[in-house]
């Protein structure tokens, strides 16, 4: 699939973290995953990538964008919905100004992905959020596929 986890040959800087990584020709880097403090989020991310790695894609404006997995040409990002009410991913149930961070994150992901000929999909743990994010991305011309993935 994507080589042997843990056989790293280089390092990249992702934010404040130095990540042990190995390059994937023309796409990005498989690298060590930063563990999540929240046990539910940690389990959800490991469900997406049981090899306990992340995929890091260079952004055209500098830095890297982190994803939970790369499957064929699709970058996967997990979104665990932890609140039944008030989740930031219930985009149409929150004040409009709170939509900008979601739009900014999605835009940055798409910019990095398309620069490498890749697509983006969000794996979301709750159906209501899937419906709202799908509509939000369509209305904002963001080419991200949103899929349901149970926790």
pLDDT tens digit sequence for 11-69: 999 999 999 999 999 899 999 999 999 999 999 999 999 899 999 999 999 999 999 99
- The SS3 assignment for 56 reads strand
In a domain, 4, yes or no: no
Q: In total, how many domains does the chain have?
A: 1
In a domain, 5, yes or no: no
Q: Which domain holds residue 61?
A: 10-148
Are 121 and 69 a contacting pair, CB within 8 Å?
Answer: no
In a domain, 1, yes or no: no
In a domain, 25, yes or no: yes
* DSSP-assigned beta bridge partners for residue 120: 75, 144
In a domain, 65, yes or no: yes
Contacts of 6 (CB under 8 A, 6+ apart): none
Q: What pTM was computed for the model?
A: 0.92
In a domain, 54, yes or no: yes
Residues 85-114: what's their mean pLDDT? 93
In a domain, 3, yes or no: no
**pLDDT value at 84 more than 90:** no
In a domain, 61, yes or no: yes
């Amino acid at each position: 699939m994507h080589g042997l986890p843990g056989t790293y040959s280089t390092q990249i800087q992702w934010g404040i973290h130095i990540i042990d990584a190995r390059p994937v020709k023309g796409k990005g880097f498989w690298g060590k995953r930063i563990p999540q403090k929240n046990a539910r989020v940690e389990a959800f991310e490991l469900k997406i990538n049981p090899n306990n790695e992340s995929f890091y894609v260079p952004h055209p404006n500098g830095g890297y964008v982190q994803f939970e997995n790369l499957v064929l040409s699709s970058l996967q990002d997990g979104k665990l919905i932890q609140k039944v009410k008030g989740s930031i991913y219930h985009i149409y149930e929150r004040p409009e100004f709170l939509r900008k961070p979601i739009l900014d994150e999605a835009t940055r992901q798409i910019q990095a992905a398309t620069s490498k000929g890749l697509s983006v999909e969000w794996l979301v743990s709750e159906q209501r959020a899937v419906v709202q994010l799908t509509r939000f991305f369509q209305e904002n011309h963001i080419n991200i596929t949103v899929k349901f993935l149970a926790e």
